[in-house]
Structure 1
Amino acid sequence: MNTPKGLAGLTIRAIEATLVVVPMRRALGTSAMRITEAPLLLMDLLTEEGIIGRAYLFCYLPAAGKAAMALLQDANALLAGKDASPAEVRRLLEARFRLLGARGIVSMLMAGIDIACWDALAISANLPLARLLGAPLRSVQAYNSNGLGLLDAPAAADEARELVAEGFRAIKMRLGRASAQEDLAAVRAVRAAIADDIVLMSDFNQRLTPNEARERCMSLDGEGLYWIEEPVAHDDYAASSGLAALLRTPIQIGENFAGPRAMAHALSQRASDFVMPDLERIGGVTGWMAAAALADAARVEFSSHLFHEVSSHLMAATPTAHWLEYVDWADAILQEPLKVVDGCITPPDRPGNGLVWDAAAVKRFRSQP
């Protein structure tokens, strides 16, 4: 996606980063690992014109955040004095990291810089990011994705009621317990604990082999799940496509799309009913908008993964926008966390993407070298 006309002219002075580790209000228990704290890499793109563009990355592990900071030093030396146009910045970074490969932590870092560039451009234009992208500040339906890990059935039911009480009309639970019977019992307990009009999503976090997935997903078909997310390895499009054709319950994938080309391949294989790209893996704002165009052409509903602060702007500009995933992990270090109103989130009506750090909180949660 090219920079809008008239917005060139910002010059990068430096990119600063701070790694914070924020305790989660609700632990996230998945079939892959249990996460109790969120390592967030806060990025500030400083310009010669005095405008600061901001972004943050969720690093999963503190060590990954430290590796990203080391790579940022290299990117910083490359970009200092260069135009802050996202297209030009991407061209320079792709050339710099060509031999290393723009994958994993490298691609995450590039996405973060892209997000910060777009934030700076929107601030310079005195527009919220959504409006810079040509969209109104419309509300997007959101689901509560905090907690609801691999708890036993009674505990899952209790937590489901708590998540709904936080103002949501949709929640997500994790699957992938030791047996299909345990998963089924948990789903039935949660479904019975919440009202019939509350939407219930589910996520296996790539837990199952194709054979296991057929058995487990068929046992859950018709149990009131809105979607079944990533039942098999994220890039096993053949198995995922087979499940999508077999089940009445929609299959959802996409948080692991490594850029728009991966999503294009998945769409060509009819690997899922819905897609849900992740902002830091799809390529930042630039990658997201390319992916949104692909979903629009394929007429596939498009949801978000994490980063609801920025993703809410992008969902407003996404033709097939579906559901916004909400987690509160960054709230502790933000001056103005977004609020949920009637189960929806609206992008803030202020210039940029709305991210402003709470300096005292950043100091409190800063990771030590």
Structure 2
Amino acid sequence: MDLPEDYADDRLAFVEGAPATMTSSMHRDLEHGNRLEVGLVGATGPVASVLATVDVAAWDALAVAAGLPLVRLIGAAPRPIPAYNSNGLGLVAPSAAAEEAVELLEEGFTAVKLRLGRPSAADDLAAVRAVREAAGPQYTVMADFNQALSLPEARSRCRLLDDEGLMWIEEPIRRDDYAGSAELAAAMNTPVQIGENFAGPRALAAATAARASNLVMPDLDRIGGVTGWMAAAAIADAAGIPMSSHLYPEASAHLLAATPTAHWLEYVDRANPVLAEPPLVVDGAMRVPEQAGSGVRWDEKAVSHYHLG
């Protein structure tokens, strides 16, 4: 279906000029209005991403107007959030992964995440062992397959890695195969982690009902912004499932501080080049900013430099 070039501007124009001091009922109206405005194309995929962006911006504006950091606005207090370094550690040779893991840990972290899914199970095992040995027993290592395996292959590889001291094995199979993921979670000692692809809190609820994983890690964008995150956190809390974050560390730190079952924050530095004050990680934890709003302040000169318009 072809849409007019100004479709997004027209559909979301109703939020412009809305007072930042919105009540919770007004916020519900904003969320409902957003979904009505995009009812023609559906609140999924890129459209859902736009709605999540508007949601986060609205909460940020409200926090700024109230003179509060976002974490306090949503009922919690700033605190250090355990963070793992998720920069790098791709499908490289075991020796290269070991060297890179040490470098990443030296940046103030106590945990790193390693990507798996090499041509053979033996290659993955060698990489895990190399990183574990280089890091040392005092550090934490997560592993992520990024949906690389079929269920039969996942049964074999996950069993092979089950006693290697990993914090979790993430997305070993297709993101929406809850039955297969539940089978793996029930068969292993190592926790199964999923959730970055949950399309809204109802997906998290469905995965939880299916016992699809031991852990969950929603993505701020895909889960539905701050509003979606808080709904997801309530579901995880009711189920007693530890909840981590996927990307967006700047805002996710605030949300994890208010999440009853908060686990780990995924740290990436992708936004740092355009931030006036990049996130601070000390002793393996990210500090939640105390300034009003999310704490994100743009480096306007850097933004102008990278601007493609």
Greater Cα offset, 72-81 or 293-302: 72-81
Aligned-pair CA distance for 1:363: 1.0
Give deviations 1:206-254, integer Å, cap 9, x for gaps. Answer: 0111111101111111011110000001110000000000011100000
Aligned pair partner of 2:27 in 58, 75, 86: 86
* Residue of structure 1 in register with 2:131 after alignment: 190
Q: Matched residues in 1 for 2:213 and 2:10: separation?
A: 38
Gaps of 5+ in 1: 1-66
Gaps of 5+ in 2: 21-25
Q: Matched residues in 1 for 2:242 and 2:300: separation?
A: 38
Contact 2:193 2:217 (C-alpha < 8 Å) held by counterparts: yes
Matched, 1:272 2:213: yes
Which residue identity does 1:319 align to in structure 2? P
Could you state the TM-score of these two structures normalised by the residue count of structure 1? Answer: 0.79
Q: Which runs of 4+ in 1 moved over 6 A?
A: none
Aligned pair partner of 1:74 in 5, 10, 15: 10
Which residue identity does 2:133 align to in structure 1? A
Aligned pair partner of 1:215 in 150, 153, 156: 156
Give deviations 1:133-156, integer Å, cap 9, x for gaps. Answer: 110111110000000000011101
Q: Matched residues in 1 for 2:199 and 2:51: separation?
A: 12
Pair 1:126–1:81, CA change in 2 (3 A): closer
Contact 2:11 2:38 (C-alpha < 8 Å) held by counterparts: no
Aligned-pair CA distance for 1:344: 0.4
Q: Matched residues in 2 for 1:99 and 1:225: separation?
A: 45
Aligned-pair CA distance for 1:76: 3.5
* Residue of structure 1 in register with 2:120 after alignment: 179
Aligned pair partner of 1:327 in 262, 265, 268: 268
Which residue identity does 2:29 align to in structure 1? E
How many residues end up aligned between the 2 structures? 301
Aligned pair partner of 1:205 in 140, 146, 150: 146
* Residue of structure 1 in register with 2:65 after alignment: 124
Contact 2:162 2:190 (C-alpha < 8 Å) held by counterparts: yes
Q: Matched residues in 2 for 1:144 and 1:70: separation?
A: 39
Structure 1 or 2: more helix by fraction: 2
Aligned-pair CA distance for 1:83: 5.0
Which residue identity does 2:57 align to in structure 1? A
Greater Cα offset, 71-80 or 291-300: 71-80
Pair 1:286–1:106, CA change in 2 (3 A): same
Could you state the TM-score of these two structures normalised by the residue count of structure 2? Answer: 0.94
Q: Matched residues in 2 for 1:304 and 1:356: separation?
A: 21
Superposition pairs of residues 283-322 of structure 1, within 5 angstroms:
283-322=224-263
- SS for the counterpart of 1:142 is strand
* Residue of structure 2 in register with 1:233 after alignment: 174
Matched, 1:339 2:275: no
- SS for the counterpart of 2:77 is coil
Matched, 1:112 2:48: no
Give deviations 1:139-182, integer Å, cap 9, x for gaps. Answer: 11000000000001110111011011111001001001111111
Contact 1:71 1:106 (C-alpha < 8 Å) held by counterparts: no
* Residue of structure 1 in register with 2:111 after alignment: 170
Which residue identity does 1:360 align to in structure 2? K
Pair 1:97–1:76, CA change in 2 (3 A): closer
- SS for the counterpart of 2:97 is helix
* Residue of structure 1 in register with 2:98 after alignment: 157
* Residue of structure 2 in register with 1:148 after alignment: 89
Contact 2:198 2:219 (C-alpha < 8 Å) held by counterparts: yes
Matched, 1:103 2:36: no
Pair 1:71–1:128, CA change in 2 (3 A): farther
- SS for the counterpart of 1:306 is coil
Pair 1:297–1:182, CA change in 2 (3 A): same
Q: Matched residues in 1 for 2:43 and 2:188: separation?
A: 35
Contact 2:149 2:173 (C-alpha < 8 Å) held by counterparts: yes
Which residue identity does 1:171 align to in structure 2? V
Q: Matched residues in 1 for 2:150 and 2:183: separation?
A: 13
Percent sequence identity is 56
Contact 1:83 1:89 (C-alpha < 8 Å) held by counterparts: no
Aligned-pair CA distance for 1:80: 3.1
Which residue identity does 2:152 align to in structure 1? N
Which residue identity does 1:73 align to in structure 2? D
Which residue identity does 1:88 align to in structure 2? D
Aligned-pair CA distance for 1:71: 5.6
Pair 1:71–1:150, CA change in 2 (3 A): farther
Structure 1 or 2: more strand by fraction: 1
